[in-house]
Amino acid sequence: MIRAHLIRTLEVDEEIFASVVQYLQQFKGEVEFVHHDEPVVMSGKPKRVIKKVDDDFDVQEEFLMNKLCDSEIRVKSVDLDFDEVNAYPWEKFFDLIKTFRKKSNQEEIENPLPALKPEQNTAPQDNDHVFILTYQANTEKWFVGSEAHSGRNHFIHLLYWHHYILSEPVYPVAYHIMSTILKNETFGDITKYLPLTHDTPKGCMMDMCWNKTDVILKLRTADICPDCMLALADQSVNRKLLNQTLKVFDHVRSQVLFRERFLALQSYPHLVLDRKKGELVFPELSNLKVKLNPLELTTYCFFIQHPLGIILSYLPDYFEEILAIYMEINPHLDRDSAMERVSDLTNPLSNSVSEKISRIKAKLKNMLGEEIAQPFIIQGPNGGLKKIEIPRDQVTYLHLG
Ligand SMILES: [Zn+2]
C-alpha cells in the first residue's frame, strides 16, 4: 500500500481541491489518497513577480536543476488569468510540505486516537508521498516539481492548464499525480529516470513536453510507450501501482477526448442518479462520478422531478416531497432529524438551498467543464424559476435497495 497525501495552499479553491481528491479516490488500487482539509499558507517574500505583460514570461527558464526536479512539464504559461503571480523558489514548496509533515506527526503524538487502526492514521509517514497543490508560481515556471533524493515531496501548479488542454484542471492534475508517483516509486530518483525522458514527444508519460502541443498530445494519448514499459518492467514495477496508473490514464484520456468531440457534436451525456451511493454518474464519460452529500443529492433529485422549475421562495410548499426524497436517501435516519434538516433546507430565510445549489454547480463544473455542465446545473434568474435543463429522457434513476 502506498499513501499519497494531498494538501493545498490557502488561495486554492476548496471545491477544485476536493474534486481532484475525490476524482483520484475513485480509482481503487495500490495508492490510497488522503485528503487534508486544512490549507497551508505560503509566507515570506516571493523571489519575483511574474506579470501578465511580463515580456520575459514567454521565455522558458533553462533550469540548471542539479538533478533537482522532475522534468515533467515545461510549458510556457503565456496567457495568465491573473495580472501577476508571485513566484517562489522550489525549496519554498518543499519546506511547506516538511512543515506539514512535522506538524501532522506532532499533532498525532499529542492527540493519539487509540481507536483508530494504523491505516486510519492520517499523519504522513516518512515513505508517504505528499503533494501540495498551489496557485503560487515557481521561479522556473514549471507545472510539476519533485524534490530530488527524497522523491516523496511534490508540488503541482494548478493554474493555466486550460490554456493548453481542453479540460478542467482536475484531469491533468490527476494524471500528473499518478505519473509522478509511478516514476518515483519505480525508479527511486530523478537521476534514474531523467535519461529515459523523451525530447521528441510520443504521447508517453516520459515526454518532456517542451511546448503546449506536447502536453495536449500527452493527455490525449495518456499512455506509456513500449520502451518505457520495458524500463518499468526492468525495475520490477509494482503491478498494482501500474494498473491503477493506467486506469487513471485511460479515464483522463476519455475525458479529454469527450470534450473534443463534444465541441463538434454538441451532444450532452446521459445522467444516472445513483441515490444509494450519492453519485451523479455519466456513463458516456467512462462512468465519471460526481459525489454529492445527502442534502445536495436531495436538492438535485427534487429539481430533476420538477422539469418546469421551482421558485426558491415556494420551497416550503414542497416540504413533504423533499422530506420523502431525503428519507429515501437516508433510510436509517429518524424522522425528527430528517425533518429538522429539511426544514432548514426549505426555510426561505436561510441560505441553505442556495448554498447547496452553488456547491453542486461547482462540483459539476470542475468535473464536466463549463460547457458540458450547463444543462445539468440548477439555474435561473434571482427570485425566478430555477431549473435543470437537461431533457428528462436523458436522466435515469438507479433504483434504491
Ligand atoms: Zn516512453
Specify the pLDDT at position 83: 62
Q: Do 244 and 355 fall into the same domain?
A: no
Q: Do 324 and 225 fall into the same domain?
A: no
Distance in Å, CA 207 to ligand 1 centroid = 7
Convert the pLDDT of each residue in 280-319 to its tens digit: 999 999 999 999 999 999 999 999 999 999 999 999 999 9
Distance in Å, CA 208 to ligand 1 centroid = 10
Residue 79 has pLDDT above 60, yes or no: no
| Closest to 42 measured CA to CA, from 83, 94, 84, 5 | 94
Distance in Å, CA 365 to ligand 1 centroid = 32
Query: What is the DSSP annotation of 201-248?
Result: --SBTTB---SHHHHHHHHHH-B--HHHHHHHHHTT--HHHHHHHHHH
Specify the pLDDT at position 400: 65
Residue bearing cell 445549489: 357
Residue 206 has pLDDT above 70, yes or no: yes
Residue 135 DSSP one-character state: S
Domain boundary among 263, 279, 305: 263
Q: Do 194 and 281 fall into the same domain?
A: no
Distance in Å, CA 128 to ligand 1 centroid = 26
Distance in Å, CA 223 to ligand 1 centroid = 8
Q: Do 251 and 327 fall into the same domain?
A: no
Q: Do 160 and 244 fall into the same domain?
A: yes
Query: What is the DSSP annotation of 251-319?
Result: HHHHHHHHHHHHHHH--PPPEEEETTTTEEEEGGGTTEEEE--HHHHHHHHHHHT-TT-EEGGGGGGGH
Q: Do 37 and 76 fall into the same domain?
A: yes
- Give the range of the structural domain holding residue 390, as residue numbers without chain letter: 271-398
Distance in Å, CA 31 to ligand 1 centroid = 22
Distance in Å, CA 281 to ligand 1 centroid = 33
Q: Do 184 and 290 fall into the same domain?
A: no
Distance in Å, CA 68 to ligand 1 centroid = 21
Distance in Å, CA 198 to ligand 1 centroid = 7
Residue 67 has pLDDT above 70, yes or no: no
Residue 70 has pLDDT above 50, yes or no: no
Q: Do 258 and 280 fall into the same domain?
A: no
More confident residue, 26 or 137: 26
Q: Do 152 and 46 fall into the same domain?
A: yes
Distance in Å, CA 199 to ligand 1 centroid = 10
Q: Do 258 and 110 fall into the same domain?
A: yes
Q: Do 258 and 373 fall into the same domain?
A: no
CA distance 378 to 300: 8
Residue 130 DSSP one-character state: E
Domain boundary among 221, 243, 263: 263
Count of structural domains within the chain: 2
Lowest-pLDDT choice from 64-73, 173-182, 242-251? 64-73
Distance in Å, CA 48 to ligand 1 centroid = 35
CA distance 69 to 153: 10
Distance in Å, CA 354 to ligand 1 centroid = 48
Distance in Å, CA 266 to ligand 1 centroid = 34
Distance in Å, CA 312 to ligand 1 centroid = 54
Specify the pLDDT at position 159: 66
Residue 57 has pLDDT above 50, yes or no: no
Q: Is the dihedral of CA 305, 307, 308, 311 positive or negative?
A: positive
Domain boundary among 247, 263, 279: 263
Most distant CA pair in the chain, distance: 67
Distance in Å, CA 234 to ligand 1 centroid = 14
Distance in Å, CA 157 to ligand 1 centroid = 23
Note whether 2 and 185 are within 8 A (CB).
yes
Distance in Å, CA 140 to ligand 1 centroid = 24
Distance in Å, CA 178 to ligand 1 centroid = 15
CA distance 172 to 20: 10
Specify the pLDDT at position 222: 87
Distance in Å, CA 368 to ligand 1 centroid = 29
Q: Do 107 and 221 fall into the same domain?
A: yes
Specify the pLDDT at position 31: 98
Distance in Å, CA 351 to ligand 1 centroid = 51
CATH number, domain containing residue 356? 1.10.10
Distance in Å, CA 74 to ligand 1 centroid = 17
